[in-house]
């Protein structure tokens, strides 16, 4: 993940430098719980992951079984682990299983050093047995579920069915903590990060009863104004481009040439993003600089094609005008052919006494001479 500039020591500074330790202590074991919260030991089965989280640990269909009460946490975890061991299962899923087993073993030997953070349930969209939703620490909770399914004991005495948790009733910082947690623990795409920031701004504004300035969001997350601006600007790309970015988990920096130069060209956005994906899948370096050159190439090709189209339109217009000119010349010649000698003299007399008519005929003569002269030159 690319590094960025931000406030020294901020949560996101650590995140983007790639040094986050998911098992590190956020609070000392004996430290007091934050204001607006309380430290407690809760039944694992009365807790569920928060559906408002932008990214989850398990596939969506398994979360649906949790939310509807079709299966409990142990059953869902076992179904997920069975799915991961099937032939042809994604390597990333198998890696998640290994990481979870390692975390569970660490908790079994040393206990849960860092409590999870939960909030009381405020809606009816969960089973009646659920009292809390996870704000931070979903993997730690799943590790307890795993130990429960294996009938293990923590430090040879404690039941994993009980988990240390901080119950937080202050919802004003909910999205901020969820966003930091997910950005640290999951490889979110730039779209998911941008959407998370947008949602944070909305929730803070609602909680404080006023439209929160973006500078407050920057300060809360420890990000620079420029970085936040660039994240949000990616959301202005076409719907197809946004979907492609999400599906391929693309980050902000490599996409800058697309955002900066192709904002109003949806078709070229897709072409450039697909090329970037090809380079990344081939593990080729220098994607940002190469993409910038590739975008310039796309723009040049577009200008060439537009010039050809304009030229073709001009040829079509010239052809149509030539036909019209030929028809009008034929009609004029027919008019003169219909004039007998007496009528021709009458017309000449009219022209002699009408300066405007004489000027029009002289102009027509000059135009005809010019056409004939150019025609002779081209022969």
Least confident of 14-23, 152-161, 171-180, 278-287: 14-23
Find the angle CA(76)-CA(51)-CA(150) to the nearest 5 degrees.
25
Note whether residue 103 is domain-resident.
yes
Kindly report the backbone phi and psi dihedral angles of residue 136, in degrees, each rounded to the nearest multiple of 5, phi listed first. -140, 145
88: left (phi over 0), alpha (psi -120 to 50) or beta: left
Place of tokens 């007998």: 340
Note whether residue 204 is domain-resident.
no
DSSP state of 31: P
Q: At what angle do helices 60-68 and 73-84 cross, to 10 degrees?
A: 160
State how many domains the chain has: 2
Range of the domain at 376: 340-379
Cα distances (angstroms) measured from residue 258 to each of 217, 237, 271, 273: 26, 9, 10, 8
Task: State the Cα–Cα distance between residues 129 and 353, nearest whole angstrom.
Answer: 107
Enter the pTM of the model. Answer: 0.44
Note whether residue 345 is domain-resident.
yes
Query: What is the model's pLDDT at position 182?
Result: 63
CATH number of domain containing 82: 3.90.1530.30
Confidence of residue 145 (pLDDT cuts 50, 70, 90): very high
Task: State the Cα–Cα distance between residues 326 and 261, nearest whole angstrom.
Answer: 47
Higher-pLDDT residue of 66 and 209 is 66
pLDDT in tens, 71-92: 999 999 999 999 888 877 888 8
Query: What is the model's pLDDT at position 15?
Result: 33
User: Average pLDDT in the 150-179 region?
Assistant: 80
Sheet holding 162-168, edge to edge: 37-43, 162-168, 116-120, 132-136, 47-49
Q: Does residue 12 register a pLDDT over 60?
A: no
User: Average pLDDT in the 106-134 region?
Assistant: 87
Q: 122, 146, 169: which is the final residue of a domain?
A: 169
Is residue 45 a contact partner of residue 145, using CB atoms and an 8 Å limit? no
Task: State the Cα–Cα distance between residues 362 and 184, nearest whole angstrom.
Answer: 84
DSSP state of 32: P
CA torsion angle 296 297 303 305 (round to 10):
-160
Q: 169, 191, 226: which is the final residue of a domain?
A: 169
Note whether residue 156 is domain-resident.
yes
Q: Does residue 360 register a pLDDT over 80?
A: no
Q: 117, 148, 169: which is the final residue of a domain?
A: 169
User: Average pLDDT in the 338-354 region?
Assistant: 77
Note whether residue 64 is domain-resident.
yes
Listed ranges 50-54, 114-118, 303-307; the one with the highest mean pLDDT? 114-118
pLDDT in tens, 154-166: 998 899 999 999 8
Query: What is the model's pLDDT at position 176?
Result: 67
The token duo for 209 is 């009863």
pLDDT in tens, 30-54: 334 444 456 889 999 999 988 766 5
The 3-class secondary structure across 139-186, one letter per residue, is: HHHHHHHHHHHCCCCECCCECCCEEEEEEECCHHHHHHHHHHHHHHHC
Note whether residue 353 is domain-resident.
yes
Note whether residue 12 is domain-resident.
no
Note whether residue 50 is domain-resident.
yes
pLDDT in tens, 230-285: 989 999 999 999 989 888 888 888 899 999 888 888 888 898 899 888 888 876 55
């Amino acid at each position: 993940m690319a590094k960025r500039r931000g406030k020294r020591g901020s949560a996101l500074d650590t995140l983007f430098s790639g040094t986050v330790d998911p098992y590190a202590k956020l609070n000392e074991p004996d430290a007091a719980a934050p204001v607006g919260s309380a430290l407690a030991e809760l039944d694992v089965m009365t807790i569920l992951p928060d559906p408002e989280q932008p990214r989850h640990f398990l596939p969506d269909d398994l979360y649906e079984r949790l939310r509807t009460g079709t299966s409990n946490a142990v059953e869902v975890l076992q179904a997920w682990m069975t799915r991961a061991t099937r032939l042809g299962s994604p390597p990333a899923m198998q890696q998640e299983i290994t990481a979870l087993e390692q975390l569970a073993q660490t908790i079994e030997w040393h206990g849960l050093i860092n409590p999870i953070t939960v909030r009381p349930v405020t809606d009816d969209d969960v089973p009646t047995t659920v009292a809390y939703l996870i704000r931070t620490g979903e993997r730690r909770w799943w590790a307890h579920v795993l130990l429960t399914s294996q009938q293990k004991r923590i430090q040879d005495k404690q039941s994993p069915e009980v988990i240390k948790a901080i119950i937080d009733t202050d919802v004003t910082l909910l999205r901020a903590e969820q966003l930091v947690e997910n950005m640290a623990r999951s490889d979110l795409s730039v779209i998911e990060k941008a959407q998370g920031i947008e949602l944070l701004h909305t929730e803070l504004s609602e909680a404080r009863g006023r439209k929160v300035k973006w500078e407050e969001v920057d300060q809360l997350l420890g990000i620079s104004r420029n970085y936040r601006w660039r994240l949000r600007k990616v959301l202005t790309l076409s719907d197809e481009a946004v979907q492609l970015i999400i599906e391929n988990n693309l980050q902000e920096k490599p996409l800058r040439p697309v955002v900066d130069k192709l904002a109003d060209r949806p078709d070229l956005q897709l072409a450039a993003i697909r090329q970037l994906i090809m380079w990344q899948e081939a593990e080729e370096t220098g994607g940002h600089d190469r993409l910038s050159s590739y975008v310039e190439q796309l723009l040049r090709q577009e200008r060439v094609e537009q010039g050809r189209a304009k030229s073709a339109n001009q040829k079509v217009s010239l052809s149509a005008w030539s036909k019209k000119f030929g028809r009008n010349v034929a009609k004029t010649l027919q008019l003169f052919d219909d004039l007998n000698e007496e009528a021709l003299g009458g017309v000449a007399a009219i022209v002699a006494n009408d300066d405007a008519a004489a000027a029009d005929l002289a102009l027509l003569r000059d135009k005809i001479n010019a056409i004939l002269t150019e025609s002779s030159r081209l022969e």
